[in-house]
Structure 1
Amino acid sequence: MTNTERFKANIRMVELEMHSFCNRQCWFCPNQFIDRQGPVQWLDEFILDKVLSDLALINYDNIITFSGNCEPFSQRMEFIDKVHIV
């Protein structure tokens, strides 16, 4: 079995964290003790494009989720622009 076949067979979800901002207000938040309220850092577009093109090359057809430890809609327009890319 090739690495590509192994990846497709075992990876059911790819999680993308689009930016770093988090207001740490969720009761279940694992970020309560780290500062994520500083300057917002976005996932580099080159990296996003690379991940997406690599997934396309192997015909990845499972889940891509936009989560991680951030507030996706705190940067609403920028976030929506990135989702449109995907």
Structure 2
Amino acid sequence: MEGQARWAGRLPIVYKKARDAARVRPVRFHDLRHTFGTGMAAAGAPLRALQEWMGHKNIDRTMIYAAYSPNPSQGAALAERAFGVSPGRSK
């Protein structure tokens, strides 16, 4: 666990170096978290799973992504639009 915490602390530094080397416009590392949360919610990921993946201690923090959650009957179509794949089919 200690190694994971140490890596997590270095992740923004590693990201910035890679971003600068690729000459990509500056984007805050935290923006990537929001993109991930929004994309996963829109694809129909369960909010409890999203809470765990994002490391939120309180579900209230994760609930900001609930507005992006699809109607369950539209989940597969939204996943295909968001990520270019549908369940059971790889890109």
TM-score (norm 2): 0.27
TM-score, with length taken from structure 1 = 0.29
Comparing both chains, which one has the higher relative contact order based on Cα–Cα distances under 8 Å and sequence gaps of 6 or more?
A: 1
Q: Which has the higher strand share?
A: 1
Larger fraction in helix: 2
